[in-house]
Every structure is written in C-alpha cells, then in structure tokens.
Structure 1
Amino acid sequence: MIDMSPNLTLVAVIVVLVAAGVYLLLERSLTRVLVGVVLLGNGINLLFMVAGGRAGGPPIVGVTPEEEMSDPLPQAMVLTAIVITLGISAFLAALAYRSWQLNRHDEVQDDLEDRRVAARAAADRAAYEDLDAASDVTLDEEAAEAHDETVHEEALAENAAREAAHQAAQRSAGPEEGRRA
C-alpha cells in the first residue's frame, strides 16, 4: 500500500503563503498587492502539486507502468497558473510604475464618485429599513385583522350549523308536542 498522506511541512508552507498573500492583497499599496499576488500564486501552485499525489514516473503509456505514473493534470494546471500569475504580475507592476510616475506614490486612493455612491447606498438602505419597519407593523395589523375575520366567519358558520340542527330537531319534535298540547 502506497502512503498518500501529504507532507505536513508543505501544508504549513501552503497555509502561510496563502494567508500572507491574502493579507497583502487587502493593502492599498500596489507594490504590496503585487507581492501578495505572487505569494498567493505560489501557494496555490504548491497546493496543486501536493494535491496531485506522490511523485512518479513520466505519464507515458508503454514506458511506465500505470501504478507508477504520476498524474499529469496538476502539472499542467500549475504551468497554466504560472503563466497567468506572470501576466497579472506584469500588469500590476505597470500600474504601480505609472502611479509612481504620476503621483510619487503607488497607493490606491478612494474615488470621489465611489464615496458618493456609497453615501447614496447608505441613505437608500436606511430609507428601505424605515419603510420595511413600517410595513412590518402594517403586515402585522393586516394579519391580525385577517385572523379575526377568519375566527368570526368560523363562529358564524358554527352558529348557523347549530341553528340548523336546532330547527331540524324542533321540526321532528314539533308535531308531537303540538298533539300533546
């Protein structure tokens, strides 16, 4: 039986790389974002390789027995991920360089229009919550009225059934009582 458990040291390295990459991606400096993308890309590539299983022979049918072959899919995915990470890194490096040329810093600033949109969204949310609270009261009152109306209709139907049963009982007993009197 072949041991397929991953190396815990590699798993710890993956966790550290991904955590550091995500932390740096949340920064405002484009240089830190660039380093975060590189760390995250390397962590994910290492994850693919660890998840691919143990190392084996080349995946060539006829040369290597099937039980000794390595899985070629993780290797192909890592190669593709390396190319994508390189492209994103080049783009971020160009953005950081251009920002440095124009502003002498590479921090991403808030856009005034973004602030206006956020303020408008907050005002809309507050108005919606006020309207929602008022509609909850209206809905509760309407539900209580509908319940009262249903109870009233059921009581009327029950009274009508009792009255009909009482009249039927009087009709069947009525002629006998009239004869006795």
Structure 2
Amino acid sequence: MSVLPLTVAALVAGGTYLLLQAGLVRIIFGITLLSHGANLMLLAAGVSAWRTEPLGAEGSSRSADPLPMAFVLTAIVITLAVTVLMLALARIGGDDDTYQMPDTGEDHHG
C-alpha cells in the first residue's frame, strides 16, 4: 500500500477529530489539517496526468501537468490567510468557553 493515501487518511482523520473538539484553536488546527489533506489529494490526482511539451520537438521530454500544482499553491495561500485570520479572531475574542453575559445597564429586578 502506498504512503500517500495513508497520509491523506491520517490528515483527514486528525482534522476531523480536532474539528469536533470544544476549543476554538483546536477547531482552527482541524480545519488546517483538513486543508492539508485536500491539498495532498489534489496533488496526487495530478501526478499521474502526464503530457508532452506544448511546442512538440522530436525529442521532447515528458512534463507534469502544472494545473494541479497551481491549484495546490493557490489553496496553500488561501489556507494560510484563513488560518491567520481565524487565529487573530480567536485571540481577539478571548476565551471561547465562557458564558458570561455582557453588562447592558438594564435592571433585571423589575
């Protein structure tokens, strides 16, 4: 059995486990692991797609399809930006496990 499907399965399983946890930082790391698993799956889908050079010389070598690599590069950049944004929002939001109601100035005693 190949290492790549096992790695994708481990990343997706770990990401799903962390996504189902209570803490906000764990959820963020779970989303990050899921995106890494999706990136590896995209890259693995494009590895076997071979084609010849577009200019077609007689002795042209075979090159990899650049489209899956471009998708993965774009997904990595978007994942990094989303992860930084979510971590910043988690830091600004403080502790996500508190259920303290903010003081609105209203009198609740009637």
TM-score category by the smaller chain?
A: 0.7 to 0.9
Deviation (angstroms), 1:60: 5.2
* SS of alignment partner, residue 17 of structure 1: helix
Partner of 1:69, secondary structure, is strand
CA 1:56–1:40 in 2, change beyond 3 Å: closer, same or farther?
A: same
Larger Rg: 1
Residue 61 of structure 1 aligns with which residue?
Answer: 54
| TM-score (norm. length: structure 2) | 0.72
- Normalised to the residue count of structure 1, the TM-score between the two structures is 0.46
- Asked if 1:106 corresponds to 2:106, the answer is no
Separation in 1, partners of 2:91, 2:13: 26
Ranked by relative contact order (alpha carbons within 8 Å, sequence separation 6 or more), the top structure is 2
SS at match of 1:106: coil
SS at structure 2 position matched to 1:28: coil
Unpaired runs of 5+ residues, structure 2, are 100-110
Q: Which has the higher strand share?
A: 2
SS in 1 for 2:10: helix
> Which runs of 5 or more residues in structure 1 are unaligned?
1-6, 110-181
Partner SS for 1:61:
coil
Partner amino acid, structure 2, of 1:106: D
Aligned length: 97
- Shift, 1:55, TM fit: 8.5
Q: How does 1:106-125 map to 2 (within 5 A)?
A: 106-107=96-97
CA distance in 2, matches of 1:73, 1:108: 46
Q: Sequence identity, in percent? A: 39
Matches within 5 A, 1:30-179: 30-54=24-48, 61-62=54-55, 65=60, 68-100=62-94, 105-107=95-97
CA-CA distance at 1:96 after TM superposition? 1.2
Which of 21, 24, 28 pairs up with 2:18?
Answer: 24
Structure 2 match to 1:112:
none
